Structure 1
Amino acid sequence: MTFFSLISALLVERWRPGSDRNRIILLFLSYADSLERYFNTGVRRHGIAAWTAAVIPVLIISVWIYYLLYSLNPVLAWAGNVIVLYLIMGFRQFSYSLTEVSEALKNGDLFLARDLLSELHGVEAGDLSNQEVARTTIEMGLIYSHRYVFGIIICFAILPGPLGAILYRLAELLSERWGTRKDAFGDFAVKAFEIIDWLPARLTAMSFAVAGNFEDALYCWRVQAASWVDSNQGIILASGAGALGVCLGDPMHAAGSKHYRPELGVGEEADVDFLQSTIGLAWRTLVLWLMLLLLLEIASWAG
């Protein structure tokens, strides 16, 4: 059921890329904001209580609905999985955003590329050069392909029904929403997502290596990933950079100043051609996961 649910969700997304998912996510974020106003006293244990109140009821209701549908008819449970995956995954959104920036750079429209990068990924891009726009877009593409596609696929395959996919997405949303706070309220949300993402991040990095330059990806993962502040992001970016044969990280101009970041990857400097290569890597990785899940499905039937 896992393989066919994923295939169906991806086909539905290609056919109907509408804003349904955005409304659902905004509804959950509104609920999270209400919990924050009620629980936030700047104390970590209240952050734990708010995270629990945000995530656990949704998981309980989702699992209850799944098994209720399964008891009525397995086809209904499959349809429920497809709807959930359609609402929380975003492969088309990720690939389309990279294509837009790529087309703007190809046409020599740096201002449009900067605006798209700021609008789509929330990055301050007003001072970025062509190379920095390409580099940042590749980095965002690797991270977003993991968070919106591969991390969800991995968790969906590991836990029963839609439980894993929903847990991963909710944890990621709360980490982004509460993790930027300066007090201790959001500490648990960041740590919880880091723990949940530990295995998916490494499996995504390994799949990047298999779908790209295997030796360089493993070398960058082993030697460079630990230098990145976020260990899970560092592993994904280092492996992705090595798989693509491109240099990421390095200094970045933003808000009139220069920000120094660790160097990731080996090979050439980032440019517009590597944006297309990033989309190709994501497609190959998606096909790799679908083939693996199909083999597991066949093995399950044979068993």
Structure 2
Amino acid sequence: MTLIILLCGLALEYFLGVLDDVRQLVWFGRYSDWLENKLVQSSYWNSAGGIVMTLAGPLLLILLIDYGLKNIFSPLSYLFALAVLLNSIGPKFLDESLSAYVDALDAEDDVQARHYAGEFCQSLAAPDPMKDEQEIIECIFVQANERLYAVIFWFIVLGPFGAMLYRLANILKTKHQDIHGDYADSARYLNNLLNWPSTRLFALGNALAGNMIEAMEAWRSNEDSSFDANEAVLIASGLGALHYRPETNAQEGEVDRSYWVRAAQSLINRTLIVWLTALGIMTIAGLLA
């Protein structure tokens, strides 16, 4: 059922864009703030224990609901898993944002283009769509993992619990990205830990869907035993799979403004097909076995 739920969720996203306006998970930000105010004086809070306490409530609730629905009427648990998956993707569906960014570039609407560039790079000082093209494309690969691929991976491994675990951990990392302290460091470490397998599988998918030789060489040259290498591996392999050559933009008019963004969007979508195909093969093999 995992494959069917994923296909249903992705179909709803691609064709309806159902939850962009409602899945900001504002409630979790308020809940974590409330919990911090209550427990900040505790000796366990400013550590990994604080992260565990923050995540425990929502995730235990998901486990209890999922367990209860499976015992009452199992199809309800599938609908619940689909709802959790849809709320874990995002907060905005990347393909839709990329299409809007491409439209803004083609229309030479610099205001809208900068808006989406800032969204991809999670920066108030939005990068210039033309001067900082490579930086934006690098951010797009990172966002593809955080918004979609890591969620899919953990949904496959741990079901709705895994998908929401990743989304909430990512929210905590983003919320504390400019803060120093053991709690913030633990949030970043957990996010890096959860990103490790998905970034490697995403890189492998990019290699299979794009320029394999360049992607694998870039992966090998950037691989490290540290979790901190996640983004470096993903970005390098993504640019390699894309066969990105910024110098082709040197001569005006040779490549249109949105060429490399569209190429990155196409690669990301092809990689998704690779992932789903692999999952389908494993599902069929499991049924036959």
- What band does the TM-score fall into relative to the shorter chain? 0.7 to 0.9
After TM superposition, give the deviation of residue 300 of structure 1 in Å. Answer: 2.2
Matching residue within 263, 271, 279 for 1:293: 279
Q: Does 1:202 align with 2:204?
A: no
TM-score (norm 1): 0.83
- Note the C-alpha offset of 1:16: 4.5
Mapped to 1, the partners of 2:60 and 2:126 lie a distance apart of 44
Query: After superposition, what is the alpha-carbon deviation per residue over 1:127-169, rounded to whole angstroms, capped at 9, x for unaligned?
Result: 636131x32331222111111111111111112x312111111
More strand per residue: 1 or 2? 1
C-alpha displacement of 1:199: 1.3
Q: How many residues align?
A: 280
CA distance in 1, matches of 2:211, 2:280: 24
Kindly indicate whether the alpha-carbon contact (under 8 Å) linking 2:17 and 2:93 is maintained by their aligned counterparts in 1.
no
Give the 3 Å change call, closer, same or farther, for CA 96–121 of structure 1 in structure 2: farther
- Report 1:17-166 matches (<5 A): 17-18=18-19, 19-22=21-24, 25-40=25-40, 46-90=46-90, 93-119=93-119, 121-125=121-125, 128=128, 130-132=130-132, 134-159=133-158, 161-166=159-164
Query: Structure 1, residues 90-115: CA drift from partner, whole Å, max 9, x if none?
Result: 39721122222222222233343123
Mind listing any 5+ residue stretches in structure 2 that lack a counterpart?
A: 250-254
- Structure 1 window deviating more from structure 2 (239-248 vs 163-172): it is 239-248
Residues 15-67 of structure 1: per-residue CA shift (max 9 Å, x gap): 25242212xx1111111122233344698852323211111222222122112
Asked whether the 8 Å contact 1:150–1:204 carries over to 2, the reply is yes
Of residues 209-218 and 114-123 in structure 1, the stretch that sits farther from structure 2 once superposed is: 114-123
Pick the aligned partner of 2:218 from 193, 217, 220.
220
Question: What TM-score comes out, normalization by structure 2 length?
Answer: 0.86
Maintained 8 Å contact 2:203/2:233: yes
Amino acid at match of 2:260: F
Partner SS for 2:131: helix
Percent identity of the aligned residues?
26
Matches of 1:215 and 1:147, distance apart in 2: 25
Following superposition, the deviation at residue 191 of structure 1 comes to: 0.9
Partner of residue 190 from structure 2, selected from 189, 192, 201: 192
User: CA 1:120/1:141 → structure 2, altered by over 3 Å: closer, same or farther?
Assistant: closer
CA contact (8 A) 1:139 1:237 kept: yes
Q: Shift of the alpha carbon at 1:298? A: 1.5
Kindly provide the amino acid, as one letter, of the partner of residue 128 in structure 2: L
* Superposition RMSD in Å: 2.7
Q: 1:245 to 1:124 in 2, by over 3 A?
A: farther
Asked if structure 2 preserves the Cα contact closer than 8 Å seen for 1:44 and 1:187, the reply is no
CA contact (8 A) 2:206 2:237 kept: yes
Corresponding residue number in structure 2 for 1:10: 10
CA–CA separation in structure 2 for the residues paired with 1:229 and 1:168:
16
